[in-house]
A = this chain, B = another copy of it.
């Protein structure tokens, strides 16, 4: 609490930004930027603050994800994106795991170098249309047949907002498999502490000098807090739909976002308002 205010805000040297619901609303047509966000990214970069996107996006490789963002007007490089699939590949190699993939078709190339013969784990992503009854059954049968089932979930989001409405996210399907097999998934992605630590390492800034900005109270705000960072929740994306009854210190922390954004000339437009926790 003592750190709140002018002194602390001045200490901020880097920003982690969630993408879907913060920079753009995703959709079948590639999605649309949220008003003011293209300009905001430009201003963040111009301000000298370090910037890293910290996303649970698993419907595309990092490369194609960045191509999409650039087409929407965001000046972002591939190295500025921390995403679950590359982190999962690292973990799979580290532990000698051979995955059965239940992911979006467009994510499969991320696992090109990974041995997938005779699977000893299941990797679950936001598979969208690939979440068929047959595919979920296949993943279930593989898991229930393992002596020690390993389920790796790329994030555990409940749902997200696309241009044509809300969509169930990977977390719902993770819970289905957890329940059916009586197991607990390992989450790679937000809100995992390890994932935030990788993002901070790539940002090159310690947690106490970084701030996470997102629309999700659990995955963005909660995850960042567990990692010793502060977090700012924006009122865009699925913000309005989130249950506000969750026990947190939202009410106790007055908004300092306007103050923060006043540090960046011209960046204090309404879409960035929120409360730093």
A178–B176 CA distance with the chains assembled, in angstroms: 10
Q: Which of A37-45, A70-78, A130-138, A191-199 contacts B (4 or more CB under 8 A)?
A: A130-138
Q: Which residue of B lies closest to A178 (CB)?
A: B175
Within 8 A of B (CB), among A93-133: 128-133
Query: Which among A159, A165, A175, A176 has the highest number of chain B CB atoms within 10 Å?
Result: A176
A167–B168 CA distance with the chains assembled, in angstroms: 21
A132-B133, A133-B129 known; A168-B140 Cβ under 8 A: yes
A46 within 8 A of B: no
Neighbour of A241 across the interface among B144, B167, B179, B243, CB < 8 A? B144
A172-B177, A178-B175 known; A140-B128 Cβ under 8 A: no
A132–B136 CA distance with the chains assembled, in angstroms: 10
Copies of this protein chain in the complex: 2
A214 within 8 A of B: no
Within 8 A of B (CB), among A128-181: 128-133, 136-137, 140-141, 144, 158-159, 165-169, 171-173, 175-181
Neighbour of A131 across the interface among B128, B130, B136, B171, CB < 8 A? B136
Q: Residues of B contacting A167 with CB < 8 Å?
A: 137
Q: How large is the interface on A (under 10, 10 to 19, 20 to 34, 35 or more residues)?
A: 20 to 34
A182 within 8 A of B: yes
A138–B173 CA distance with the chains assembled, in angstroms: 15
A248–B172 CA distance with the chains assembled, in angstroms: 30
Q: Which residue of B lies closest to A136 (CB)?
A: B168
A83–B181 CA distance with the chains assembled, in angstroms: 25
- Residues of A at the B interface (CB closer than 8 Å) are 128-133, 136-137, 140-141, 144, 158-159, 165-169, 171-173, 175-182, 241, 243
- A-B complex: 3 closest residue pairs judged by Cβ atoms: A172-B176, A175-B179, A176-B176
